[in-house]
Amino acid sequence: MAITISVICDTFNLAGGMNELSSLIGSTVAMSLVFIAGHCEALRISIWGAVALEDFFLLNYTRGKLFMGDVSVYGGGYFLAWLGILSLYQMSA
């Protein structure tokens, strides 16, 4: 599981350098987790994450002056990786 989380975080970091593409990918992943999660605690958390990443993307899309940085990109990847694990765990329980 640790290798999977590490790969997800590194994937977001690679996409972070391309005009903050990681925020668009992150919001898409969070919204897909909304549809997967159903009615559980992960639903509200994934909506918050999707809204935050989508707002950042919309504010930064044309100008590209804001930079998330490595810490924010890794944090977003880590957040979404554990959110996916949480939603799968709650669906199976």
pLDDT digits (tens, 9 = 90+) for 51-87: 888 888 888 777 777 778 788 888 888 988 988 888 8
Q: Structurally, how many domains does the chain consist of?
A: 1
What are the strands, taking DSSP E only, across the chain?
none
Which residues lie below 8 Å from residue 76, measured CB to CB, with a gap of 6+?
A: 12, 22, 23, 26, 49, 53, 68
Q: What tokens were used for 60? A: 């930064």
Res 29 pLDDT > 80: yes
Q: What is the pLDDT of residue 19?
A: 66
Res 50 pLDDT > 80: yes
Asked if residues 30 and 80 have their Cβ atoms less than 8 Å apart, the reply is yes
Longest dimension (CA), the chain: 45
Compute how many other C-beta atoms are within 10 angstroms of the C-beta atom of residue 61: 12
Mean pLDDT score of the chain, rounded to an integer? 82
Q: With bands split at pLDDT 50, 70 and 90, how would you rate the model's confidence at 93?
A: low
Domain that holds residue 41: 2-92
Q: What tokens were used for 7? A: 């790969």
